[in-house]
């Protein structure tokens, strides 16, 4: 009997049902991690060349990020193994009258693009791979010379969290640790020329913009709280935390 090792990912959106798919389409604003997602988007928009660069997102799910990139003016291709996810992405694209976003059902570990791209993006998707080395190789092959792969992925310990273990048990999906230093090693194996690991702006911004300022009872108190916040932000900039993302150039 043949066992599909990607059945969990392939059937995930079908199993969570229409309500679960609808909830996924509300990202980033309808997600509890909204501030983190918006900060990551800010970093991404600062990094990307101006539209209309060509970008492919592997493991795009219901397409919330691909659609935002298309609305910004990028030419976007979204790829996901789940037919239900792609159907939801296509529906949203039609509703927003987007002509520069297309979505394909496909396995990013065996995807052969019809064109070359300026950027290949993994956003919380590479850690669901059966074979992440093959996935990174597919991203490399999809890029033009000088193109870049960008990955926002979970850190060491992700696979051991209760949320991850429950997802594996309930849906049979892959939940792996995917820190940037590991992705860098994969990148070197497939031929990427160089890489840069950057702090996630969310970690810096939440150090600076804190609700705790309301505790300041005087201008002096507020200035001291701000000084402490700045020191925290600097420390995060120079930390070797897993809370970073990675860019690899072909």
Instruction: Give CA–CA dist 42/33, Å, rounded.
Output: 14
Which stretch of DSSP H or E encloses residue 78?
Answer: strand 75-80
CA distances from 148 to 19, 43, 136, 172, 205 (A): 35, 15, 12, 31, 25
Find the mean pLDDT for residues 219-238.
Answer: 88
Q: What is the pLDDT of residues 113-122, one digit of tens each?
A: 889 999 999 9
Listing from the earlier edge strand, what are the strands of the sheet with 194-199?
A: 101-105, 75-80, 54-58, 117-123, 143-152, 244-249, 194-199
CATH of domain 7-199+242-249: 3.40.50.150
Give whole-number Cα distances, 239 to 27, 203, 212, 233, 246, in Å. Answer: 29, 11, 23, 10, 15
Q: Where are the domains of the chain?
A: 7-199+242-249
**Residue 127: band (very low, low, confident or very high) from pLDDT cuts 50, 70, 90:** very high
What mean pLDDT do residues 168-176 have?
A: 94
Arithmetic mean of pLDDT, 31-57 = 94
Q: What is the pLDDT of residues 194-220, one digit of tens each?
A: 999 998 888 888 888 988 899 889 999
In this predicted structure, the answer to whether residue 40 has a pLDDT above a threshold of 80 is: yes
- Bond prior to 159 in cis (omega within 30° of 0): no
What is residue 1's predicted lDDT score, i.e. its pLDDT? 54
Mean pLDDT, the chain, whole residue set: 93
Q: What is the pLDDT of residue 101?
A: 97
Judge contact between 69 and 76, C-beta under 8 A: yes
Predicted structure pTM score: 0.92
């Amino acid at each position: 009997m043949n066992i599909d090792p990607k059945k969990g990912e392939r059937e995930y959106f079908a199993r969570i049902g229409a309500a679960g798919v609808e909830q996924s389409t509300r990202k980033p604003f309808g997600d509890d991690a909204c501030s983190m997602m918006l900060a990551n988007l800010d970093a991404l928009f600062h990094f990307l060349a101006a539209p209309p660069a060509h970008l492919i997102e592997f493991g795009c799910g219901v397409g919330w990020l691909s659609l935002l990139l298309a609305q910004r003016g990028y030419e976007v291709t979204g790829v996901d193994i789940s037919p239900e996810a792609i159907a939801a992405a296509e529906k949203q694209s039609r509703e927003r009258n987007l002509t520069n976003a297309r979505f394909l059902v496909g396995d990013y570990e065996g995807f052969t693009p019809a064109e070359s791209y300026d950027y290949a993006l993994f956003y919380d998707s590479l850690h669901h791979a059966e074979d992440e080395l093959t996935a990174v190789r597919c991203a490399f092959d999809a890029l033009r010379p000088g193109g870049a792969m960008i990955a926002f992925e979970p850190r060491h310990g992700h696979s051991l969290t209760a949320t991850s273990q429950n997802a594996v048990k309930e849906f049979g999906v892959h939940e792996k640790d995917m820190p940037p230093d590991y992705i860098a090693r994969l990148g070197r194996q497939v031929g990427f020329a160089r890489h840069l690991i950057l702090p996630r702006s969310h970690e810096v911004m939440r150090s600076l913009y804190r609700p705790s300022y309301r505790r300041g009872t005087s201008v002096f108190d507020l200035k001291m709280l701000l000084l402490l916040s700045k020191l925290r932000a600097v420390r995060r900039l120079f930390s070797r935390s897993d809370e970073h993302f990675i860019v690899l150039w072909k």
